[in-house]
Structure 1
Amino acid sequence: MPSNSLLHFITKVINIEDIKVANYDFITEDEIVVEIQNQSKFSQCPRCGKTTNKTHQNHWYMVRDIPMSDYQVILKVNRRQLKCTECHQVFSEELSFVKTRRTYTKRLAMKVIKEVLETNVESAARRNGMTVSEVETLLKELEADLLKEKPHQIKKLGIDEITQLKGGKNYAAVLVDLETRRPIALLEKRNKVVIAEYLSSLGSEVLNQIEEVSIDLWMPYKSLIQEMLPNAQVVADRFHVMKQINQELDERRKQEKRAAVKIKSRQEREEKLAGLTHSKYPLLKKKESLNDQEKAKIHSLQKVAPELGEMYRKKEAIRDIFESQITSDEALYKFLEWTETAYKFFPKSCRTISRWIDEILAYFDHRTTQGIVEGINQKIKLIKRRAYGLTNFNSFRRRILLNWHFCC
């Protein structure tokens, strides 16, 4: 029999509240069984609420715990059955460190889940002496606990989409609390019906609190918000406006290059191609981010393709509007002036700005953007790559939500 001092030491190492180590035994070279006793003699009856210490029956079973040094630890646990002296109900006592009908401790479950998020289910199960099905059960239980608690204080919401598989068209909707910088939901589809169903589940009290919703330039998002969030201002993301302008600018660059190739004069053709070659990224960059070489490229480009150079100046002019510390009323006049002079260069973008002008101007009230949402989407892509792809949507969603719960 081990000495009391050694048992006391192991109790300290095990470090479970109200638990005392009564004995231990090595069953293999790297596996130890530790017999523990619950120091709390009384337990509360779940039926009437009275406490009792009257033991009806002892139930011993093995519970896997986190490793101790290089040893795998198995706890020999007695979950007593007690009989209430008041209502005579027989019940099993609650143990704080292990769930009912589980063969592993809560803290081992947390350790395994963190390892799954860093690697995958199979390797986490192998390292901790568990089966794959046990690990998957852990993940499902914790996801259920997380989803049970609905967000109740959202003021700024961001909505975007991401593809579950690279290059696919199976868009999932990502809903983000912009103030806490955390995803609150990952929905299998981005259509109105699916998003509306989730928003409805939050309840009118939560929906009425939402003041702003940042979205890309997708009309179904806008109409859904207007229907379901009576107090929310839709904010069109400024970066998506600039993205469309950049796309038109780049398309014009490609047209200029295709036209230059067809020029019959060799000298003129080579001169124009020299100005256009390697001009894509300088054209799309912010003017203050250009290095000397890129500035020289813009300068030579403006000589061989004046209209393309003018489009670059117009692109920078609207970006300056977004960067300016002005009110929405002041911004309105600047946008009207810009669209009048830029329509022949950016017809598609000007029409988009006209359709979304109220939502674009809303940006100038609180400077809300999709930047946080886009950052989260990039991290989701990284998680997918690290997991070698997740073809099952439930596994995909589970990993994303748990990752933010534990790692962020």
Structure 2
Amino acid sequence: MPSNPLLHFITKVINLEDVKVINYHFLTDDEIVIEIENKLKVAKCPHCGNTSDKIHQNHWYRVRDIPLSDYQVLLKVNRRQLKCKKCHQVFSEELDFIKARRTYTKRLAMKVIKEVLETNVESAARRNRMTTSEVETLLKELEVDLLAEKPKKLKKLGIDEITQLKGGKNYAAVLVDLETRKPIALLEKRNKAVIAEYISSLGLEVLSQIEEVSIDLWIPYKSLIQEMMPNAQIVADRFHVMKQINEELDQKRKKEKRAAEKIKNKKERENILAGLTQSKYPLLKKKENLNSEEKAKIESVEKVAPELGKMYRIKEGIRDIFDSPITSDEALYKFLEWTETAYKYFPKSCRTISRWIDEILAYFDSRTTQGIVEGINQKIKLIKRRAYGLTNFDNFRRRILLNWYFCY
């Protein structure tokens, strides 16, 4: 029988609250079985709430725990059955470190999940001497335990989408708490019915306290929010407004380049093409972020394609409006002035701004954007690559949401 000081030392090392080690033995060269018992002599009856110390029977079984140094650890646990003195019902005691009917401790489950998120299911199972089905069960259980709770303090919501497969058109919807900077849901489709079903599940108490919802310029999002969250202010994302303007600008660049390629005069053709070559990214950048070479390229564009150069200056004009410390009322007049000048060059964007003007102006009240959502989308893409692709959507969603729970 091991000495009491040694058992006390092992009790300290395994560090389980209200548990003491009563024995141990080596199962193999790298596996140790540690026999433990509960220090608490009483347990609460789940039927009537009364405490009892009357043992009905002992139930010994083994569970796997986190490794101890180079040894795999198995805990020999006694989950006692007691009989309530008040209601006379038989019940099993609750053990904080292990869920009922599980062959592993809660902390081992957490360790395995973190390893899955860093690698994959097969590697995590192999390292912890578990089956892949056990690991997959861990993932599913943890999703229920940790992610099922509704976001009760949700005040600022962001809605966007991400493609599930590279280059595909199969979009998943991403819903983000903009204050905690964490995704709260990943939905298999971004259509109105699927998003409405999830939003409805949050309940009226949660929906009524949402103050702002940031979205891209997609009408179904807008109508959905108006129907289900009438108290929320819809904020059109400024970066999606700029994205549309940049797309029109780039279309003009391509048009100028195609026109230049048709010029018969070789010298004139080469001069214009030289001015337009490698101009895409300088034209899309903010003027204050241009380096000396990019500034020179903008000057070349203005010389060979004056209209394109003017469009760049107009584009930067609306960016200046968004960056200005002005109120929504002041911004309205700025946008009216801008559209008068810009309509000739950016007709599509001007019509979009006209349709979404209330939602665009809402940005100036609290400066809410989709920047956080876009950042999360980029991290999701990184997780997909690290996981070698995820074709099963449930696994994809589970991995993404658990990753944010543990890592961010």
Q: TM-score, normalised by structure 1?
A: 0.99
For residues 337 and 94 of structure 2, what CA distance do their matches in structure 1 show? 71
For residues 205 and 8 of structure 1, what CA distance do their matches in structure 2 show? 51
> Match of 2:258, as an amino acid?
R
Which sections of structure 1, spanning at least 5 residues, go unmatched? none
Residue aligning to 2:388: 388
Identity of paired residues, percent?
83
Deviation at 1:208, TM superposition (A): 1.1
Deviation at 1:180, TM superposition (A): 1.0
Partner-residue secondary structure (3-state), 2:123: helix
For residues 225 and 110 of structure 1, what CA distance do their matches in structure 2 show? 37
> Match of 2:380, as an amino acid?
I
Residue aligning to 1:96: 96
Residue aligning to 1:229: 229
Deviation at 1:99, TM superposition (A): 0.6
Asked if 1:109 corresponds to 2:120, the answer is no
Residue aligning to 1:333: 333
Matches within 5 A, 1:182-221: 182-221=182-221
Asked if 1:69 corresponds to 2:45, the answer is no
Asked if 1:136 corresponds to 2:131, the answer is no
Residue aligning to 2:291: 291
Deviation at 1:70, TM superposition (A): 0.3
For residues 170 and 6 of structure 1, what CA distance do their matches in structure 2 show? 60
Moved more, 43-52 or 118-127: 43-52
For residues 363 and 281 of structure 2, what CA distance do their matches in structure 1 show? 27
Residue aligning to 1:120: 120
For residues 79 and 171 of structure 1, what CA distance do their matches in structure 2 show? 47
> Match of 1:44, as an amino acid?
K
Cα deviation per residue 1:316-371 (whole Å; 9 max; x = unaligned)?
11111111111111111111111111111111111111111111111111111000
Deviation at 1:147, TM superposition (A): 3.4
For residues 44 and 90 of structure 2, what CA distance do their matches in structure 1 show? 11
Deviation at 1:382, TM superposition (A): 0.7
Matches within 5 A, 1:12-31: 12-31=12-31
For residues 294 and 51 of structure 2, what CA distance do their matches in structure 1 show? 78
Deviation at 1:146, TM superposition (A): 2.5
Residue aligning to 2:405: 405
Cα deviation per residue 1:266-311 (whole Å; 9 max; x = unaligned)?
1111111110111111111110111111111111111110001100
Residue aligning to 1:276: 276
Matches within 5 A, 1:238-257: 238-257=238-257
For residues 25 and 249 of structure 2, what CA distance do their matches in structure 1 show? 74
Residue aligning to 2:5: 5
For residues 176 and 347 of structure 1, what CA distance do their matches in structure 2 show? 32
Deviation at 1:148, TM superposition (A): 2.7
Asked if 1:49 corresponds to 2:49, the answer is yes
Equivalent pairs, count: 408
> Match of 2:175, as an amino acid?
L
For residues 94 and 33 of structure 2, what CA distance do their matches in structure 1 show? 21
> Match of 2:40, as an amino acid?
S
Deviation at 1:96, TM superposition (A): 1.1
For residues 272 and 133 of structure 1, what CA distance do their matches in structure 2 show? 63
Matches within 5 A, 1:154-169: 154-169=154-169
Partner-residue secondary structure (3-state), 1:46: coil
> Match of 2:290, as an amino acid?
L
Residue aligning to 2:79: 79
Deviation at 1:114, TM superposition (A): 0.7
For residues 17 and 329 of structure 1, what CA distance do their matches in structure 2 show? 60
Residue aligning to 1:352: 352
For residues 364 and 17 of structure 2, what CA distance do their matches in structure 1 show? 54
Residue aligning to 1:264: 264
Residue aligning to 1:172: 172
Cα deviation per residue 1:82-108 (whole Å; 9 max; x = unaligned)?
112222211111111111100000110
For residues 392 and 378 of structure 1, what CA distance do their matches in structure 2 show? 20
For residues 125 and 44 of structure 2, what CA distance do their matches in structure 1 show? 35
Runs of 4+ in structure 1 deviating by more than 2 angstroms, as ranges, are: none
Matches within 5 A, 1:25-40: 25-40=25-40
For residues 324 and 33 of structure 1, what CA distance do their matches in structure 2 show? 67
> Match of 1:318, as an amino acid?
I
> Match of 1:121, as an amino acid?
V
For residues 7 and 146 of structure 1, what CA distance do their matches in structure 2 show? 35
> Match of 1:24, as an amino acid?
Y
Cα deviation per residue 1:29-66 (whole Å; 9 max; x = unaligned)?
10000111111111111112221111111111111000
Partner-residue secondary structure (3-state), 2:112: helix
For residues 11 and 347 of structure 2, what CA distance do their matches in structure 1 show? 75
Which sections of structure 2, spanning at least 5 residues, go unmatched? none
> Match of 1:351, as an amino acid?
R
Aligned-residue CA RMSD in angstroms?
0.9
For residues 211 and 87 of structure 2, what CA distance do their matches in structure 1 show? 52
For residues 12 and 216 of structure 2, what CA distance do their matches in structure 1 show? 55
For residues 15 and 369 of structure 2, what CA distance do their matches in structure 1 show? 47
Deviation at 1:217, TM superposition (A): 0.4
Cα deviation per residue 1:207-236 (whole Å; 9 max; x = unaligned)?
111111100000000011111111111111
For residues 51 and 84 of structure 1, what CA distance do their matches in structure 2 show? 7
> Match of 1:47, as an amino acid?
H
For residues 8 and 147 of structure 2, what CA distance do their matches in structure 1 show? 40
For residues 364 and 121 of structure 1, what CA distance do their matches in structure 2 show? 46
Partner-residue secondary structure (3-state), 1:362: helix
